[in-house]
Amino acid sequence: MRQADEDSFVEFATKAKPWLLSTAWMLTGDRHAAEDLVQETLVRVYLKWRTVQDGQPSAYARRTLVNLRTDRWRRTRREVVGDPPEEAARHTDLGAQTLSADLVSALQTLPARERECVVYRHYLDLTERATADALGISVGSVKGYTSRGLAALRPMLKEADHV
């Protein structure tokens, strides 16, 4: 890879890592799994950097992150227990964003698809269509998963005085 391409990738990775890490942590609920996902995502983006740097590298990185998460979920087909709330509270500083340990704990109680839809729609602020495309499901499924996810989160967050 040429030095100019290397430099532009390093600049991109430096800017993208905090939001990729926040997104990965919200999807997995596990700090270590999130860091692994981000690392593997950046490796895959690096390998395709010449192709994606002139397009939308952030979108490519986000899609790669989601695909990796989905692949891992399919391989294990079970939820991995995350850090307990007091442990998660120590790891809430993920770059520019500070996340509530209560919110992450509440998200972890949701099934994977509901959690992904809630995070994409309300944390990443994607449209229903963009969320459906990113996850490879229909718009109707996104609406259903998001609705059920939010309905399950409301009582938990009301108990914690977040709503």
> pLDDT higher for 160 or 103?
103
Query: Left if phi > 0, otherwise alpha if psi is -120 to 50, otherwise beta: which for 32?
Result: alpha
Structure tokens at 137: 């499901």
Domain segments of the chain as ranges: 1-79, 100-163
Predicted pLDDT of residue 92: 45
Same fold, 1-79 and 100-163: no
**How far apart, in whole angstroms, are the C-alpha atoms of residue 137 and residue 17?**
26
Reply yes or no on whether the pLDDT at 96 is more than 60.
Answer: no
Q: Per-residue confidence at 14, pLDDT binned at 50, 70, 90? A: very high
Q: pLDDT digits over 25-34, tens only?
A: 888 888 898 9
Q: pLDDT digits over 63-94, tens only?
A: 899 889 888 877 766 555 555 555 544 444 44
Q: pLDDT digits over 42-56, tens only?
A: 999 999 999 998 889
Closest CA to 100 of 148, 114, 108: 108
Tokens 């809630």, residue?
118
**How far apart, in whole angstroms, are the C-alpha atoms of residue 160 and residue 154?**
10
Q: What is the Cα 19 distance to its own chain's centre? A: 8
The model's pTM = 0.59
Looking at the domain covering 1-79, what would its CATH class be? mainly alpha
Cβ neighbours of residue 115 under 8 Å, at least 6 residues apart? 26, 27, 107, 108, 149
Looking at the domain covering 100-163, what would its CATH class be? mainly alpha
Q: pLDDT digits over 122-158, tens only?
A: 888 888 998 898 888 999 999 999 999 999 988 887 7
Predicted pLDDT of residue 2: 85
